[in-house]
């Protein structure tokens, strides 16, 4: 159990050794302990070079010190940063000295960000965006995370929740004061027109969830096909290194191999799978089962076949895009009639076109979409719940106003759970476990 009365500290600047180590301190005693260690505090938010000492007067290091009196700090509490040389012994001595103060302890995973949430400095969408920003490996992941941390998506959800609240208030006024002269009649007519419009806005927003999850988690591309179709050779060619074993022996690949690619700023997860054929060999059959399972979960399947043999176009439980790729064009005539693309992993022919094919698919998915998109399953689930409740409210014309008002309350409640405005305590431990100790 986290105690928000404690003062917490942690190394916030990453692994050691490093050029600089930044130790962050936050809580009721943050300025007091910093003052003890550095002698006198600098002006707020102004860096000053100080000598950092133990309480016994021994010099730990010389470094920059900054203080951030609350609530004008990341956490909303009194905070400080001590910048020292990033040697392991220097940082360890400083952390040990901080731990010696009463009610000071090492921060838990994500505790600085959790305090920012508790103190109203961030909401849950912004916190999740911050976690994604730290984890971002591609340009589009960075842009999506920045969009979330900037608060634009939160503002959209809060505006929608406010419209729902106002609609409920007007309906309840009509229910409670229908006989009063100062309450206009048929208030619900204007309410339901706005709620129908909101339903359309919410539905259009939810339609972008697939692409949001692709940007955050990566486009899942599965290479499938018969044994010796060139799947592992293509995997190695796209990775530009030997990831998969390539031999003339059919059935070499028994398990699903995976690499991450960065294509035009998008994360692409590429999977090489076992060759698809009828076999009695137990291990190979398990590999084929895993191959079909992975293919069913893909966004795109590259169905490979050696030129002159048909490329499979149907896969169980998969209704996404299948591109038929003819392989080994260096030893077979190119056939544009029966394949979407012909390639040779040996010579590199067609690989640039395959790269562009994936880029074009990503661009088509993102057409007319901004990056103010839901990007997590949690977002999608709660938005779906909200849309379903709102749809029931709009369409249940024969139900009483009190019933329809309850549907609106449910819709607002689901939206509130996205930003953390209501009832999300059960989610917090899971979300903040994604963070490193110093954040």
Q: Give the residue ranges of the annotated binding site.
A: 24, 81, 121, 228-233, 247-253, 272-275, 439
45: its two tokens: 């938010």
Q: Distance between CA atoms of 231 and 224, rounded to whole angstroms?
A: 7
Residue 129 carries which DSSP code?
H
Rounded Cα–Cα distance for residues 273 and 304 (Å): 11
Distance from C-alpha of 107 to C-alpha of 296, rounded to nearest angstrom: 42
Annotated binding site for GTP: 228-233, 247-253, 272-275
Which residue's structure tokens are 């000071």? 104
Q: List all residues 6 or more positions away from 425 whose beta carbon is below 8 Å from its beta carbon.
A: none
Q: For helices 88-99 and 30-38, what crossing angle results, to 10°?
A: 120
Binding-site annotation, residues for Mg(2+): 232, 253
User: How many Å apart are CA 350 and CA 223, to the nearest integer?
Assistant: 16
Do residues 376 and 128 make contact, with C-beta atoms less than 8 angstroms apart? yes
Dihedral (C-alpha) 232, 234, 239, 244: value to the nearest 10 degrees?
A: 10
List binding-site positions for (6S)-5-formyl-5,6,7,8-tetrahydrofolate.
Answer: 24, 81, 121, 439
Q: Which residue has the tokens 């966004």?
A: 299
Contact yes or no for 88/17 (Cβ under 8 A): yes
Residues at the binding site for K(+) are 228, 247, 249, 252
What is the rounded distance in angstroms from the CA atom of residue 53 to the CA atom of residue 21? Answer: 16
């Amino acid at each position: 159990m986290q105690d928000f009365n404690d003062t917490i500290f942690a190394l916030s600047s990453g692994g050691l050794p490093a050029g600089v180590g930044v130790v962050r301190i936050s809580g009721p005693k943050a300025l007091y302990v910093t003052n003890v260690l550095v002698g006198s505090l600098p002006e707020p938010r102004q860096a000053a070079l100080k000598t950092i000492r133990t309480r016994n007067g021994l010099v730990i290091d010389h470094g920059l010190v900054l203080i951030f009196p609350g609530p004008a700090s990341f956490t909303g509490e009194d905070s400080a940063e001590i910048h020292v040389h990033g040697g392991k012994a220097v940082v360890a001595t400083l952390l040990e000295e901080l731990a010696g103060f009463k009610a000071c302890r090492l921060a838990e995973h994500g505790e600085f960000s959790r305090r920012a949430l508790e103190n109203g400095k961030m909401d849950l969408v912004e916190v999740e965006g911050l976690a994604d920003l730290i984890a971002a490996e591609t340009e589009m992941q960075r842009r999506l995370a920045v969009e979330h941390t900037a608060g634009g998506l939160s503002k959209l959800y809060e505006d929608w929740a406010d419209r729902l609240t106002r609609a409920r208030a007007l309906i309840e006024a009509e229910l409670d004061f229908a006989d009063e002269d100062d309450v206009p009649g048929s208030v619900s007519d204007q309410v339901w027109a706005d709620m129908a419009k909101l339903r359309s806005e919410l539905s259009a927003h939810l339609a972008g969830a697939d692409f949001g999850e692709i940007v955050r988690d990566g486009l899942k591309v599965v290479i499938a096909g018969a044994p010796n179709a060139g799947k592992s050779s293509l995997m190695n060619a796209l990775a530009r290194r030997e990831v998969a074993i390539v031999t003339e022996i059919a059935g070499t690949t028994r398990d699903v191999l995976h690499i991450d690619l960065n294509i035009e700023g998008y994360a692409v997860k590429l999977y090489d799978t076992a060759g698809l054929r009828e076999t009695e060999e137990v291990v190979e059959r398990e590999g084929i089962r895993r191959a079909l399972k992975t293919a069913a979960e893909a966004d795109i399947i590259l169905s490979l076949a050696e030129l002159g043999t048909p490329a499979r176009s149907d896969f169980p439980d998969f209704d996404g895009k299948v591109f038929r790729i003819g392989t080994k064009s260096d030893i077979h005539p190119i056939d544009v009639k029966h394949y979407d693309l012909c390639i040779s992993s040996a010579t590199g022919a067609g690989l640039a076109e395959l790269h562009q094919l994936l880029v074009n698919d990503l661009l088509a998915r993102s057409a007319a979409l901004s990056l103010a998109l839901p990007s997590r399953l949690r977002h999608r689930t709660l938005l779906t719940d909200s849309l379903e409740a709102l749809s029931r409210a709009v369409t249940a014309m024969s139900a009483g106003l009190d019933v329809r008002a309850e549907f609106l309350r449910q819709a607002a409640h689901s939206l509130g759970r996205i930003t953390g405005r209501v009832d999300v305590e059960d989610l917090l431990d899971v979300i903040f476990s994604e963070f490193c100790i110093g954040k």
